[in-house]
């Protein structure tokens, strides 16, 4: 029984916070469902799951050329589907309401760092000069993983259990194509509970 009481006391700081946790929708890159959990007044963790945009045609053409199905394969085109994204982030907040003379509600500015995993189904079309000029197909799963940095602002309404936010960030691939950068941004809304 003593262990349970000690555990409950140890977990209280994680359960109690001045800010409100929220779940919502993020419109942008990636388009996601977002869940944000405050650890204390200034720090929060956030999870995102949703759909991301495909990379450029050059990106997939280079990926094909770097990993050809046969030595004589020549890239002819591609299509991309099922681009999913999962993010896990840590966020630092600062109240900007007084500096911006906001009297109704409050505005938090934030910066953060996180990790992002992206997965896409890529269907390549190619020719192989040793076989014939017939178009051949190669279906692959493209996985990208790396860190992201971001900054934004979130406004909390006084009378409504809703917050709205906007942010911009940068994702860098570590796995699949080291150093590839992707600018990301979004607006969104969260229901607070």
Does pLDDT of 168 surpass 60?
A: yes
CATH code (residue 79):
2.40.160.20
Q: How confident is the model over 54-75, as pLDDT tens digits?
A: 999 999 999 999 999 999 999 9
Q: What pLDDT band is residue 5 in, cutting at 50, 70 and 90? A: very low
In a domain, 82, yes or no: yes
% of the chain surpassing 70 pLDDT: 90
Instruction: Specify the DSSP element, H or E, that contains 13.
Output: helix 2-15
Instruction: Evaluate whether residue 151 is within a structural domain.
Output: yes
Q: What is the 3-state secondary structure (H, E, C) of 75-130?
A: EEEEEEEEEEEEEEEEEEEEECCCCCCCCCCEEEEEEEEEEEEEEEEEEEEEEECC
Residue with tokens 């194509």: 177
Whole domain around residue 169: which residue ranges?
24-192
Domain count, the chain: 1
pTM score of the predicted model: 0.83
């Amino acid at each position: 029984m003593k262990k349970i009481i000690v555990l409950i006391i140890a977990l209280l700081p994680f359960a109690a916070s001045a800010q409100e946790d929220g779940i919502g929708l993020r419109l942008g890159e990636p388009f996601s469902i977002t869940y944000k959990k405050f650890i204390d007044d200034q720090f929060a963790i956030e999870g995102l799951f949703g759909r991301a945009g495909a990379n450029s045609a050059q990106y997939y053409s280079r990926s094909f050329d770097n990993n050809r199905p046969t030595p004589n394969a020549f890239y002819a085109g591609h299509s991309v589907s099922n681009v999913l994204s999962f993010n896990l982030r840590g966020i630092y907040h600062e109240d900007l309401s007084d500096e911006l003379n906001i009297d109704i509600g409050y505005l938090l500015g934030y910066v953060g760092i996180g990790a992002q995993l992206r997965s896409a189904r890529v269907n390549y079309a190619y020719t192989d000069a040793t076989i014939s000029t017939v178009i051949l197909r190669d279906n692959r799963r493209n996985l990208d993983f790396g860190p992201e940095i971001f900054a934004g602002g979130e406004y909390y309404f006084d009378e409504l259990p809703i917050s709205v936010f906007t942010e911009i960030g940068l994702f860098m691939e570590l796995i699949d194509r080291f150093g590839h950068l992707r600018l990301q941004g979004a607006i969104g809304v969260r229901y607070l509970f």
